């Protein structure tokens, strides 16, 4: 695995742990695209809450910002686990960063019909009805349970990402005609080697 952070100036035979600097360079994951079966199967529950999970969360935020998304689920980077990150400010407000391990919607209210897209289905959007308000119960990287409430775009992002963890894509919420149209176009793009 290439790692830019370790420049080998000394040919050390033993690895000595150097203290962590404030923000190590992040790994930018390529986003898995529609057609990969990992996107359509439920992720495994997160069981290990450790520094590795913390690193994964930060790498996922970096990957999400790089792709200009507002949410990213682990299956979208090829990891079939119930883990997602959300930031509807797109990185503008560090306090808006939300990490969700094993999230579940515990309460939903209202309906909003709004256009939605997905980093795994680039170039296609569709209108999806989502709750206006949701309450989500999840665990943080330390395994502690918390509840968070989301409204409008945040509620939509929570629902979209939790869908991913259940192997559901927004295409499944579209009408059959629209869904089939998008699928046909993707098939064509695949044939042309553009997907």
To Zn ion, the closest distance from the beta carbon of 112 in angstroms equals 17
Beta carbons within 8 Å of 170's beta carbon, 6+ residues apart: 116, 117, 118, 121, 126, 128, 160, 163
Contact map string, positions 70 to 99, toward Zn ion, x by CB under 5 A:
------------------------------
To Zn ion, the closest distance from the beta carbon of 139 in angstroms equals 21
Contact 98/149 with Cβ under 8 angstroms? Answer: no
d(CA 97, CA 94): 6
Which is nearer to Zn ion, 44 or 67 (by Cβ)? 67
Should residue 31 be labelled a site residue for Zn ion when binding is judged by CB under 5 A? Answer: no
Which is nearer to Zn ion, 66 or 143 (by Cβ)? 66
Which is nearer to Zn ion, 35 or 143 (by Cβ)? 35
Which is nearer to Zn ion, 62 or 64 (by Cβ)? 64
- Cross-strand bridge partners of residue 176: none
To Zn ion, the closest distance from the beta carbon of 119 in angstroms equals 6
Residue number of the CB atom closest to Zn ion: 118
For residue 28, give the DSSP letter: -
Report the greatest alpha carbon distance in the chain. Answer: 61
Should residue 118 be labelled a site residue for Zn ion when binding is judged by CB under 5 A? Answer: yes
Residues designated as active site: 161
To Zn ion, the closest distance from the beta carbon of 177 in angstroms equals 21
In the three-class reduction of DSSP (H, G, I as helix; E, B as strand; rest coil), residue 164 is classed as: helix
Beta carbons within 8 Å of 36's beta carbon, 6+ residues apart: 78, 120
Count of residues touching Zn ion (by CB under 5 A): 1
Task: Look at phi and psi of residue 30 and say left if phi exceeds 0, alpha if psi is from -120 to 50, else beta.
Answer: beta
Q: Which parts of this chain interact with Zn ion (CB under 5 A)?
A: 118
């Amino acid at each position: 695995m290439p790692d830019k952070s370790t420049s080998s100036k000394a040919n050390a035979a033993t690895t000595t742990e150097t203290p962590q600097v404030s923000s190590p360079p992040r790994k930018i994951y390529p986003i898995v695209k529609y057609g990969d079966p990992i996107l359509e199967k439920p992720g495994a529950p997160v069981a290990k809450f450790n520094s590795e999970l913390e690193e994964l969360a930060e790498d996922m935020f970096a990957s999400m910002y790089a792709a200009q998304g507002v949410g990213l689920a682990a299956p979208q980077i090829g990891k079939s686990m119930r883990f997602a990150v959300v930031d509807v400010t797109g990185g503008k407000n560090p306090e808006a960063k939300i990490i969700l391990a094993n999230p579940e919607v515990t309460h939903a209210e209202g309906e909003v019909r709004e256009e939605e897209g997905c980093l795994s289905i680039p170039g296609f959007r569709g209108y999806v009805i989502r709750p206006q308000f949701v309450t989500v119960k999840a665990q943080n990287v330390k395994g502690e349970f918390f509840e968070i409430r989301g409204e409008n775009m945040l509620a939509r992002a929570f629902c979209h990402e939790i869908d991913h963890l259940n192997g559901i894509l927004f295409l499944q919420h579209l009408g059959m005609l629209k869904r089939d149209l998008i699928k046909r176009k993707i098939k064509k793009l695949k044939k042309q080697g553009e997907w």
